[in-house]
Amino acid sequence: MGAVLAGFFTGLSLIVAIGAQNAYLLRLGLTRRYVGVAVAICVASDVALILLGTAGVGVVVRSYPSVLNILKWVGVAYLVGFALYSFYKASKREVLLPSESQPPARKVVIATMFAFTLLNPHVYLDTVLLLGSIANQYGSNKWLFAIGACAASALWFTSLGFGAKAASAFMARPVTWRILDVLFGVIMLAVAFSVASTHIGQ
């Protein structure tokens, strides 16, 4: 039980920060569009990475820093592009509520969520390397640690996505969405800067 709780709180500490993935999931939750699909992608990706790290794949990730560097700069470009798009939406003279605007296609939401999840080298450094290393310190109980970390991921993403969905009824003013788009844009730029500043080496 101690290993499960350690995994739960360690995993939670690594995912609660509002980064690109969390910010995008929050926006989808507030717009009440494809929340279930987005939550499923976040949880499934996190669980897969946690299990890979626990299985010792972190050694492989550490051996190929050039791959992470490619992901790093592709991710930075994607984040900056999304930030500029958010600022563009916020600057439009007539701001529509999400319910009044053209909804994004499901495939666009899926592709964007996968991009925010997998194009960030931090997810590999934190989840596969760091979390995997900590899990392996528990020896035979490492999979119990992993179960705790996976449970934290499922709880966090489900709460964030569907919790925002429940609060979306209060987001009925266009000016609120203008402010949120600016905030999302700032978050994306901050994450892009963080990713660009990450040193990846052997």
Confidence of residue 67 (pLDDT cuts 50, 70, 90): confident
Cβ neighbours of residue 191 under 8 Å, at least 6 residues apart? 19, 20, 79, 120
Q: Read off the pLDDT of residues 29-41 as tens digits, 9 standing for 90 and up.
A: 888 889 999 999 9
Cβ neighbours of residue 158 under 8 Å, at least 6 residues apart? 39, 43
Cβ neighbours of residue 164 under 8 Å, at least 6 residues apart? 25, 26, 28, 29, 30, 35
Residue 107's CB is within 10 A of a number of other CB atoms, namely 8
The model carries a pTM of 0.78
| Mean predicted confidence (pLDDT) in 25-31 | 85
Q: Are 49 and 123 in contact (CB under 8 A)?
A: yes
Q: Are 6 and 106 in contact (CB under 8 A)?
A: no
Q: Which tokens sit at 189?
A: 């730029």
pLDDT over 80 at 118, yes or no: yes
pLDDT over 80 at 199, yes or no: no
| Mean predicted confidence (pLDDT) in 97-120 | 79
